[in-house]
Amino acid sequence: MRIVSRKALRLFWEKHPRARAALQAWHADVRQAKWSTPADIKRAYPTASFVAHNRVVFNIKGRHYRIIVAIRYASGLVYIRFVGTHQEYDQIDAATV
């Protein structure tokens, strides 16, 4: 998959250095993935949640952090829409970010 805006990950781990290794691991995994359906994601990430508008919520580092992405399966694109702490995630609407 091609990930649009690794910069969002970098900016987040600069503020939260403990998240860096987990975010880099997620990034590496997703770059190697070939997802064509939500089931493909669920096999790799059983705790991933699917919300409206092709959004997927990933739990990172024992659910301390969240990443929300929008996925275009046909083109193999993953757009990072949100990276945040669990508390920040609780303040947003995952379907509309």
Mean pLDDT of the chain: 95
CATH number of the domain encompassing residue 75? 3.30.2310
94, part of any domain: no
> What is the arithmetic mean of pLDDT over 26-52?
96
User: Model-level pTM?
Assistant: 0.93
3-state secondary structure of 90: coil
60, part of any domain: yes
DSSP, res 6: H
30, part of any domain: yes
Q: How far is Cα 22 from Cα 93, in angstroms, rounded to an integer?
A: 23
97, part of any domain: no
> What is the arithmetic mean of pLDDT over 21-31?
97
Q: Supply the pLDDT for residue 62.
A: 86
Which residue range(s) make up the domain with 35? Answer: 2-89
Paired with 78 in beta bridges are 3, 71
> What is the arithmetic mean of pLDDT over 11-29?
97
Q: Supply the pLDDT for residue 5.
A: 87
69, part of any domain: yes
DSSP, res 36: S
Number of structural domains found in the chain: 1
96, part of any domain: no
Sheet containing strand 55-60, strands side by side: 2-4, 77-85, 65-72, 55-60, 49-51
